[in-house]
Amino acid sequence: MAKLFLFLGSMIMALSVVIGAFGAHGLEGKLSERMMKNYQTGVQYHMIHGIGLLVVGLLALKMTSGVLTGAGWSFVVGIVLFSGSLYVMALTGITKLGAITPIGGLAFIVGWVLLGIAVLRYI
């Protein structure tokens, strides 16, 4: 799992830079201030949890744990649901997609809790 999470984390981080640059340069002046803030929030959480996924991958080099694996997949799901819903909402104006965002936020929380539990069990 270490190799998979390190790869996914790297690709997710690369994608976050591309999406962030697109927002900063390609969307400037094209979105309302509110939608631009939503987009930027998506990028911020995307990057933070991409780093979290890299941490999971690095820890997986030293320990095998279903809890740690759960943390990694929770981060992936959170990025797709939280950041993805904010990106789509900002680009389309479909604000009903905001109902999906908290589910992604919950996945992030679950991921961090599972990561903490995995570390406690290992030490």
Q: Which two tokens stand for residue 80?
A: 């797709």
**Alpha-carbon distance 62 to 4, whole Å?**
14
Helix axes 66-78, 33-60, angle to 10 degrees: 160
80 within some domain: yes
42 within some domain: yes
Q: Which two tokens stand for residue 123?
A: 């030490």
pLDDT tens-place string over residues 38-75: 999 999 999 999 999 999 999 999 998 999 999 999 99
Residue 29: its pLDDT value, please? 86
- Total count of domains within the chain: 1
Q: Which residues form the domain of 115?
A: 2-22+32-122
27 within some domain: no
